Amino acid sequence: MVKQRERLGPIVEKWLYCFAFIFSSERHHLQFVYTVLTKPDGFSGPVFSAVGLYDDRRISHYSNEEQTWKRDSSDAEIWRYTEEPRDSRDWFINLVNTLTNCTSSRCDGLHTLQRRIGCEVEKHPDGSMMNVNAFDEYRHDGEDFIAFNFETMQWMEKSPKAKETNMKWKNQQPRRQVLKMELTNCMVCVSTFNDSVRAPPALYMFASEVPHDKSKLILTCLATGFYPKHTEMNVTQNNITLQPFSSTGVRPNNNQTFQMRTSVEINKDEKQGYECHALHSGQTFVKSWGLFIIVMFLIYRVLKDHTYYMLDGTVKKVKERTVVD
């Protein structure tokens, strides 16, 4: 029975990995994020900022100097069905001042108003749609304030303080129609846009010694240069997934792509092949690490530490000599 389980182990692991591949999804979102501040005495910083984001990449921003939107992405495809929301900078500043009983020149303290408007789509690996939804949410002084329900076309109070604002906004039928059009265009855009900067991960595997246990190695898999950020990664040995020793999670690079690394602890004398698997945008990428790499690692240790692994199994340490002319 034990041997049968051992034989089934790799099969079950491979089946589970394929199962995860089939049912994995890919998410994309297009959103515009606003932050507005009141201006207390002595405050000299900007009181308004706004950015447009596709996934985690900035595609536009509001310039306070020119008082207009500036587009960071010149890709015409992304702007075919959508544009920045129409609400002006002054509209946001007046709103936060009204909510906090402030004026444009005087306020008793620092208050904040944040808005997040946009949409997100969830797709199968083959590109077919799973779910699309839209959102328009406000936060006041760090707390949920009011949100728009796209299905019912009504505002929903998230705080008792939003009651007056809700009563005012629900009577603004033209504004609701404009908002419906903006969110509809957003969903069309995020559902059809093929991201031109999509990039697959480059995989690297390397090992380092465990400081306090010379019989062990830390084997690390690095995936880098990929976009968008959603990815899954693991290290296997003979098709069996190994328990991670550590993982960095997904982190940004300085070129709007992402990286991730995961490490496992292995026995130095085990020469079975290891593989790194990365699932990204519906595709699986594999990098192998086996006996040849282990031999190269031992050669590196010989050159670095002057430690020679003899054919009879003994270890010979050679002192470094200094050559004097």
* Residue 95: how many other CB atoms lie within 10 Å: 17
Percent of the chain's residues with pLDDT above 70: 74
pLDDT at 255: 84
| Least trusted range by pLDDT, from 27-41, 96-110, 285-299 | 285-299
pLDDT, greater one: 9 or 205 = 205
The amino acid at 287: K
Cα–Cα distance measured from residue 108 to residue 110, given in angstroms and rounded to the nearest whole number: 7
β-strand partners of 148: 155
**Is pLDDT above 80 for 71?**
yes
Cis peptide before 228 (omega within 30 of 0): yes
pLDDT, greater one: 250 or 15 = 250
pLDDT interval class at 15 (50, 70, 90): very low
pLDDT interval class at 20 (50, 70, 90): very low
Cβ–Cβ < 8 Å for 224, 235: no
What are the DSSP calls for 88-151, one per residue? -HHHHHHHHHHHHT--SS--SS--EEEEEEEEEEEE-TTS-EEEEEEEEEEEETTEEEEEEETT
**Is pLDDT above 60 for 101?**
yes
> What percent of the chain is helix, strand and coil (3-state, nearest 5)?
25, 40, 35
Cα–Cα distance measured from residue 177 to residue 252, given in angstroms and rounded to the nearest whole number: 38
As a whole number, mean pLDDT of residues 21-40 equals 78
pLDDT digits (tens, 9 = 90+) for 255-314: 878 999 999 999 988 867 899 999 988 889 999 986 555 555 555 555 555 544 333 444
pLDDT interval class at 156 (50, 70, 90): very high
**Is pLDDT above 80 for 7?**
no
Query: Considering the entire predicted model, what is its pTM?
Result: 0.65
What are the DSSP calls for 258-325, one per residue? EEEEEEEEEETT--S-EEEEEEETTEEEEEEE-HHHHHHHHHHHHHHH-EEE-TTS-EEE-PPPPP--
β-strand partners of 116: 33, 137
| Least trusted range by pLDDT, from 85-94, 201-210, 277-286, 290-299 | 290-299
* Domains, the chain, ordered by start: 27-192 (3.30.500.10), 197-317 (2.60.40.10)
pLDDT interval class at 196 (50, 70, 90): low
**Is pLDDT above 80 for 325?**
no
Cα–Cα distance measured from residue 106 to residue 14, given in angstroms and rounded to the nearest whole number: 65
Mean pLDDT of the chain: 80
- Sheet strand arrangement including 274-280: 240-241, 231-237, 274-280, 283-289
Cα–Cα distance measured from residue 133 to residue 146, given in angstroms and rounded to the nearest whole number: 17
Cβ–Cβ < 8 Å for 274, 236: yes
Q: Catalogue the E-assigned strands of 177-212.
A: 202-210
pLDDT, greater one: 171 or 106 = 171
